[in-house]
Amino acid sequence: MVIIYYKQVTSTMDIAHDYASKNFPHGTIILADIQTEGRGRLRRKWISPEGGLWFSIILYPSIYLKKKIDCLGILISVAVYKALDIFLKEKDILNFKWPNDLELNKKKVAGILLESIYENNEIKYIIAGVGINLFVEQSYFQKYDIDATSLKDLVLVEDKLIILKEIRNQILSHIADYPDNWDYVFQFYKSRFPYIGSNAVNRLNGKEVKIVDIDDNGSIILEEENKIKKYPWGGISLEIKRITY
Ligand code: BTN
């Protein structure tokens, strides 16, 4: 297993693209303690202080996954969930927020970013970036007014490499087992997605929507202005409306 470690980088995504362009193998991991220019979906900044688990993994998807690339995000989300669950004091306490977030008490604890590189109209490789607020101090989120939380008080081991290796194994086996595992993976994801029926705002156009379902290609189905619309993985950002009592 290749894990390339840096104390500090701009973004593990940039470094992983460099290695992938030099044909580093499937499953190569770039890990950093701190990122100065961490990025999230839709060009958002991803704040990456010491204590987090910030890494990117180089993937060469199979022909099946190349045709169903939206499913890859769900496979990786479920793989990360299952790996984390092993190391948490309480079991099965996280939930998914479509498309790529893991939450604890409906606050973000992890996010996944997929960047694909094409050659001759075909995917050459994908870099999957995973950011987990593993041991980040809780006070950090309050200080910077970030609506997120940390797993710090819930993690059973202190060595983040042990967790990283389990996540890597889960990601690679979930990808290798596709498509045979899809029904199971999809049901696992959906049963831990608590937002069906919730109202949300489509951040791309500011419109109010209702979350109707997730289809088995990983697309979200929304009711927007009395019409049913489908958005693929990563094609939309939703702000779920919280019910406040
Ligand atoms: C999101 O929720 O928008 C995705 C966040 C992905 C963050 C990770 S941290 C490791 C890798 N390097 C980055 O710059 N981003 C990803």
* DSSP secondary structure letters along 197-217: T-EEEETTTTEEEEEEEE-TT
35 CB within 6 A, ligand 1 = yes
- Work out which ligand 1 atom sits closest to the CA atom of 41: 3
What pTM does this model have? 0.95
77 CB within 6 A, ligand 1 = no
Residue 232 in tokens: 């693929």
CA distance 175 to 28: 14
Q: What percentage of the chain's residues is helix, strand, coil (to nearest 5)?
A: 30, 35, 35
Cβ pair 199, 210 in contact under 8 A: yes
129 CB within 6 A, ligand 1 = yes
Which of 63-67, 81-85, 201-205 holds the top average pLDDT?
A: 81-85
* pLDDT top residue among 103 and 234: 103
How many whole angstroms from 176 Cα to the centroid of ligand 1?
A: 23
C-alpha 38 chain-centroid distance: 14
38 CB within 6 A, ligand 1 = yes
Pairing of the two strands 29-35 and 3-9: parallel
Instruction: Give the model's confidence band at 205: pLDDT under 50 very low, under 70 low, under 90 confident, else very high.
Output: confident
Span 197-210, average pLDDT: 90
Instruction: Give the model's confidence band at 245: pLDDT under 50 very low, under 70 low, under 90 confident, else very high.
Output: very low
44 CB within 6 A, ligand 1 = yes
